[in-house]
Structure 1
Amino acid sequence: MNARDIEQKVDMTYIQNVLMELIKIESINPPKDGGEKKAAEFLAGRLQELEIDAEVHEVADGRANAVGIISGSNTGPTLVLNGHLDVVGANPEDWDNPPFDPVIRNRRIYGRGAADMKSGIASMIGAAKLIKEADIPLKGRVLLSFVCDEESKNLGTLDFLDRYPDADYAIIGEPTSLHLVTAHRGVARFRIGVGGKAGHAGEPENAVNAVCLMNGIISALQEYQQIINKRKHKMLPSPTCSITGIKGGQTDNVIPDRCEITIDRRLIPGEDIEQVENELKEIIQGKGGMEKDGYTMERYIFVGPGELKPNRPFFSTIKDIYARYFDVQNVEPQGFRATCEQSLFIDKGIDTAVFGPGSIGQAHQANEYVEIDELRKAAGFYYYSVLSLLAGKGN
């Protein structure tokens, strides 16, 4: 069975309908009006209509995952098809059409989450529909994992992995423009604060300006960026350390006694959080000129970098599946420039690749869209992966 045969069977009307209905649900993160739970309930309902066992697992108030299970025999592996329900917010004034009122134009679907990543979810459900219609016995099972809170603290995937720790493989449907991805950068975000002594702006000699103290740290961090920029990975951009926010001062005639910055530190495989924190402390206390107890540093977000190593059997397997489906030779997996949840699965011993419709360049942008043709190809690939891994019918 080749890609053309499979894609002719893909129900594009169904997939487009699922995607557009899903976009209408404002599953914004930070959460608003229980949008993520509404999205989970909607998807669980669609899975149940396909006679797939599906449940909604509430993770926090108004926040939930939808999990569907397509069961086969107990003698084979478990494959997870994973996507996230949450989207970033959208300012309607920046959009040509309301962001949560999707439109089709020029063979594209526009709306918040169209690329990141409700299109991947819709294609996975389209693949699930094909699996049920084909009625092919599976040696193993498929877990459809649609989770909340990917855009922040990963509460949804952490809950899913606690409930289903024994999966063997996973494919995450992040927008990769239909490229096969096997590595991604991680992210750590910190708040760094310094204290000074307030005083009258006309008598700075009687005060200690916290903003000026922070200036030394900022300059040190800029030097640090030049250092880590020399670190390389064959698939990914170099690590980065970006200052993303600054707060200081209360009014314009008072020397500020407090200043805080936020920084975003992107990690490549081979770096870890202990190393990063030690480097930041060293640069702040060295080039930044701060005493050990003269500043505060709080890490408030961390997702490690991920990589499916070439020596893992699934690396060769998913490359072969991709090569056969798309009829290409010498497949070279790519890196995902953004952060995703691959590392959370790999940390649990679940070999994980990333593949999905849409471009990461559309993520978080006004007038976000996905190419409709990519939905068909993605659904076909997910279906073909299931057949190859669980039914021995990919050849």
Structure 2
Amino acid sequence: MLTRSELGRVVEANWDRQLQWLQSLTSFPSERGQEAACQDWIARSFSDRGWVVDRYALSDVSMEHLPGYSPAVDVDYENAIQVIGALRAPNPCGKSLILQGHVDVVPPGPSDMWTDGPYAALVRDGKLFARGACDMKAGVCAMVFALDALREAGFLPGSDVFVQTVTEEESTGNGALSTLARGYRADACLIPEPTQQNILRASLGVMWFRLSVRGTPAHVAESEQGTSAILSTFHLINALEEFTLQLNERVQRHPWFSKLSSPIKFNPGKIRGGDWASSTPAWCELDCRIAVLPGLSLDAFRQEITEVVNKAAANDPFLANTPPQIIWNGFQAEDYVLEPGTDFETAMRNAHAAVTGQPAKEILFTGVTDCRFYGRYYGIPALCYGAKGSQIHGFDEHVDLDSVRQTTMVIADFVQRWCGLRRI
């Protein structure tokens, strides 16, 4: 087994190349529906390493019948490219592994509100700034260069490793699901999301839905003769915020998520409506995100949301006769918990301790990760462990480069513990 100093030496020797790779990766504006160029670049990078590459589009895979599938949101899956690099061991001597990361990023917002622009990928004060630098292209970089470090030291993993870069993590998770539908399996899955170098044990489920609300148009000079779909929508928002307070009271009975303060988050994230500034708006659409109460089925949770919306609509003079439509699109995701005691977690903790000299801490997440697909539906234990950073989904998102270097070492050490090593 390679020692900490040996791993540190090979990671450091590759560091300039690794940083350049990360800067190239984060310079791609791989927003939803625009990830293909980034994925093609990754596919070439994997092929250059001698890995067997499987590049495919989500439209090539049948997933609608599978547990965990979420309905797509306003995107063409023919351009949603996924990439898998396979390192096969002819005579496995350890356990197999999936290393998975997503390359899709959320929209950056107004570019002029970034110090250097969202895709400048500049380094300042030991940090790399770019949309997706922290969430989670630094993790993708760390998992790739962890394997490079082992190779630099003269070794390959002793068992099969599948390096996966997926899309749709920020909206449905269907990228991760597609890899399983395509038949890829392993004894564990490590996803280097930015956990501040903590072990992410559990994440909540998330549900997206769109409220489609109607109104009656009228000239604003006679607004009392019309109704405002936008104002009616805010009435529904208030009802859902009150529902969220009730959910946070109910979650206090959960063995894991009760440890968090107000873990159920509701966000009215995107609104559009109306046709003319001098007409009362005849329509409004609101895209919402809410955490799913753990332990409740998705069907039961959808029914509760429907009841909240219908009750609020019944108290609105116009909506009572013209009820809003609820469209379930995007995330329909259940919670996931990796229970303590797995050999997988033990190996991850040992790798962290060996590299950092400190015991690993664990965290719970009020958002969602792709871990649920592997652990909840396919019996593959999964956890997240990744670098430190800040401003995820915000302006001037950045990742701490020292933590990227250290995370690369931790993943390399974990791979040798979990998969074993074979000499080149």
**Which of 368-377 and 193-202 deviates more?**
193-202
Within a 5 Å distance, the mapping from 1:343-382 to structure 2 comes to 343-346=372-375, 347-359=377-389, 361-382=390-411
Instruction: Return closer, same or farther for 1:268/1:175 CA change in 2, 3 Å cut-off.
Output: farther
Residue of structure 2 in register with 1:121 after alignment: 140
Q: Pick from 19, 28, 33: which aligns with 1:16?
A: 19
SS, match of residue 263 in structure 1? strand
After TM superposition, give the deviation of residue 12 of structure 1 in Å. 0.8
SS, match of residue 286 in structure 1? helix
Structure 1 gap segments, 5+ residues each: none
Q: Pick from 209, 223, 239: which aligns with 2:264?
A: 239
Q: Pick from 78, 85, 89: which aligns with 1:68?
A: 85
1:45 and 2:48 aligned: no
**Which of 314-323 and 298-307 deviates more?**
314-323
Amino acid in structure 2 at the alignment position of 1:56? R
Query: How big is the alpha-carbon RMSD for the aligned residues of Structure 1 and Structure 2?
Result: 2.8
Residue of structure 1 in register with 2:336 after alignment: 306
Instruction: Return closer, same or farther for 1:196/1:334 CA change in 2, 3 Å cut-off.
Output: same
Instruction: Return closer, same or farther for 1:118/1:323 CA change in 2, 3 Å cut-off.
Output: same
Residue of structure 2 in register with 1:77 after alignment: 95
Instruction: Return closer, same or farther for 1:334/1:268 CA change in 2, 3 Å cut-off.
Output: farther
Separation (CA, whole Å) in 2 of partners of 1:300 and 1:335: 25
After TM superposition, give the deviation of residue 280 of structure 1 in Å. 1.0
Amino acid in structure 2 at the alignment position of 1:224? F
Q: Give TM-score, length-normalised by structure 1.
A: 0.87
Instruction: Return closer, same or farther for 1:144/1:137 CA change in 2, 3 Å cut-off.
Output: closer
Q: Give TM-score, length-normalised by structure 2.
A: 0.81
SS, match of residue 117 in structure 1? helix
Instruction: Return closer, same or farther for 1:176/1:194 CA change in 2, 3 Å cut-off.
Output: same
Instruction: Return closer, same or farther for 1:215/1:156 CA change in 2, 3 Å cut-off.
Output: closer
Residue of structure 2 in register with 1:183 after alignment: 202
Structure 2 gap segments, 5+ residues each: 59-76
After TM superposition, give the deviation of residue 255 of structure 1 in Å. 4.1
Separation (CA, whole Å) in 2 of partners of 1:94 and 1:215: 28
Amino acid in structure 1 at the alignment position of 2:353? A
Amino acid in structure 1 at the alignment position of 2:382? T
Contact 1:190 1:299 survives alignment (8 Å):
yes
SS, match of residue 153 in structure 1? coil
Separation (CA, whole Å) in 2 of partners of 1:268 and 1:7: 43
Report how many residues are paired: 387
Separation (CA, whole Å) in 2 of partners of 1:117 and 1:272: 29
Contact 1:184 1:268 survives alignment (8 Å):
no
Residue of structure 1 in register with 2:72 after alignment: none
Contact 1:216 1:289 survives alignment (8 Å):
no
Residue of structure 2 in register with 1:217 after alignment: 236
Contact 2:272 2:285 survives alignment (8 Å):
yes
Separation (CA, whole Å) in 1 of partners of 2:398 and 2:230: 41
Contact 1:56 1:66 survives alignment (8 Å):
yes
